[in-house]
Chain A
Amino acid sequence: MNGALLDWFRDPANWTGPDGVPTRVAEHLRYTAVTLLIALVIAVPIGAWVGHTGRMRWLVTGANAARAVPTLGLLFAVSMLVGPLIKSDLAFVIPSIAVLVLLAVPPLLSGTYAGIESVDPEARDAASGMGMTGSQVLWQVELPCALPLFLSGLRSATLQVIATATVAASVSLGGLGRYLIDGLASRDYTQMVAGSVLVALLALVADGVLALLERYAVSPGISGRASRVARTRATSRATADSTLSVGPAGATALAGTSSERDRT
């Protein structure tokens, strides 16, 4: 099996043309990017608005409850409903993208909402008390503080989209899913495994890239990276300088921020 798999990857025919790995990867990435872009445009403003105003929280709950609808069923149902209405190559793409967007919206929505909701009310109060306008509070305080939860929503949306775009090959979408579905049709198990390896790799790489983004985009003051470095320094200073005592409040704050942000 492993030999056959290696041969598949070594075969130059699998690396060129419309069926080649680069084309399929590019397709898969394109669907994912387009989907996420549309979903972001929908979910972020709504999530930010709900989190900022605290109104219409049922939108978030509702979107989460919709997760119980099976992805595959949604994909087939929408394809059958919408597909015949479109008379072009897009007949497969549009329904698939629509379903992918539907799947990507809930995690983005609840990530944005929960992120903004989790902002320390005292920081928010101080911000408006210092004379920030509503949009300044949103852009300068709430959104930067919401970033970790928003990005974890983006990560789960991305994984969901990559996985479901694979499944969408069964409604004739391109991308890496083609290897799995076509391989199944022609009983070419090697091709199926090769495709699966590629999809898994793509998902891992995408998640890794987003994890890196999280490292750079999130302020060290929130991610807890700064605290971990500083903890030793802070305590050594405390013993040296008694007027700057590190109280129990500071100590718990450090512990809290670092344990929350250990994800992946």
Chain B
Amino acid sequence: MIRFDGVTKQYDTGSGTTSVAVDHLSLEAPTGKITVLVGPSGCGKTTTLRMVNRMISPSSGTISIDGRDTASMDVAELRRGMGYVIQHAGLFPHRTVLDNVTTVPRLLGVDKRSARARAMELIERVGLDPDLARRYPAQLSGGQQQRVGVARALAADPPVMLMDEPFSAVDPVVREQLQNEFLRLQSELSKTILFVTHDIDEAVKLGDQVAVLRIGGVLAQLATPATLLSDPVDDFVAGFVGRDRGYRALSFAAAPELRLEPEPTVPLGASAEQVRATGATWVICVGESGEPLGWVRAAAVTESVTRDLLHRGGTVASTDGSLRALLDAALSSPSGRGVVADTEGRFVGTIRASEVVPVIEARQAAST
């Protein structure tokens, strides 16, 4: 557990005046969980993070890790004991990917062979091709560099990870991949993570708890993402959390067991007769292992069902997904019936928005 106790950081701005970057901050980042610090630029979130590994020293207050005051620890030892990932990865350009990853174990005196063996393992674990191990950072894409940054931070298996906007410098598609894999990794590793971002969507997606900071380094709200969306404490947090809060909060509501409508399906290549035999206006087309491929309008099929006849606008909800995904599947479907697949990705049935909404209303009634 990382514990902030009345931590303040102020800077001299010359001529006797000071500016406060972090103001009497007290919060706990629980062991094995992701705590996200989020806020607009100038809210002191990066300063807060960097005070944990003493890249910046607090003006007052204490920061402790599992009850040990960090100020009493040896700086190098403290830092080697926590993974550190930053925005542009900060890889060493003169070292190969493999040697970048072995940095901290080598500093800790692990011999080269075992450090390298462990590094190879991590490189694969963060989703990189092992062939990339001998490359240099300049030969990697931004997303690949960021994965190396994460592998490097994990190399000495530190219990604590400090991550400063690690996914901000990559394009949205890669960012989403990185976020998903980060969550997968965390579910395996259960590190105590302090994560800084300016992106509220990222905060809500990744955090077990989210600390919203306002300018001047004051903690505005510390809450789970669901609470943050459903119950912001003030206008600042409400404004920062943004629009569509009600809809986005549904992301945290697990889809309940609902009665799904069975639906006739046709395979790709089915004849026009087969399609018409179902009697439906829109028919769901499934692939070889039963995965939904898309809707097809029966009237549009003249000979057989081909790929270019498929309507691809609809999203697919999973039976273990959220209410949000379920509602979205229904709203995006051309037939008005949302496609639901099981955890293996096989089509199981459809659901209408009108059937999801009562569930949402029931939840609201239960919580008030």
Contact = CB atoms under 8 A, between A and B. Distances in A.
Interface of A: 120, 122-133, 136, 140-141, 144-145, 147, 218-222, 224, 226-227, 230-231, 234, 237-238, 241, 243-251, 253-254, 257
Interface residues of B, number: 49
Contact of B90 (A126, A224, A226, A234): A126
Nearest to B49: A129
B177 A123 contact: no
Question: What 6 A-B pairs come out closest when comparing CB atoms?
Answer: A221-B136, A126-B90, A131-B79, A249-B142, A219-B94, A131-B80
Given A123-B93, A244-B128, A247-B174, A226 B141 contact: no
Contact of B84 (A130, A133, A220, A247): A130
Contact of A131 (B76, B135, B137, B152): B76
A38 to B, nearest CB: 28
A250 B142 CA distance: 5
B224 interface: no
B95 A219 contact: yes
B342 interface: no
Contact of A234 (B87, B137, B139): B139
Given A122-B86, A125-B90, A247 B96 contact: no
Interface in B167-204: 169-171, 173-174, 177
> Among B87, B132, B144, which residue has the most Cβ atoms of chain A within 10 A?
B144
Nearest to B177: A243
B91 interface: yes
Contacts of B170: 247, 249
A125 B55 contact: yes
A128 B53 CA distance: 10
**Consensus secondary structure, chain A interface:** helix
Contacts of A131: 75-81, 104, 107
B325 interface: no
Contacts, number: 138
B166 to A, nearest CB: 11
B88 interface: yes
A125 B30 CA distance: 26
B107 A257 contact: no
Nearest to A251: B141
Contacts of A136: 107
Interface in B149-165: 149, 152-153, 162
Nearest to B169: A249
B174 to A, nearest CB: 6
A241 B143 CA distance: 13
A120 B152 CA distance: 17
A241 to B, nearest CB: 7
Residue of B127, B138, B169 contacting most chain A CB atoms (<10 Å)? B138
B92 interface: yes
Nearest to A226: B136
A141 B103 CA distance: 11
Nearest to B128: A244
B254 interface: no
A120 B90 contact: yes
Contacts of B95: 219, 221
A245 B175 CA distance: 11
Given A131-B104, A220-B136, A241-B129, A123 B76 contact: no
Nearest to A241: B129
B86 A129 contact: yes
B89 interface: yes
A57 B17 CA distance: 27
Contacts of B76: 131-133
Contact of B138 (A127, A144, A245, A253): A253
A230 B135 contact: yes
B348 to A, nearest CB: 27
B104 A130 contact: yes
A129 B141 contact: no
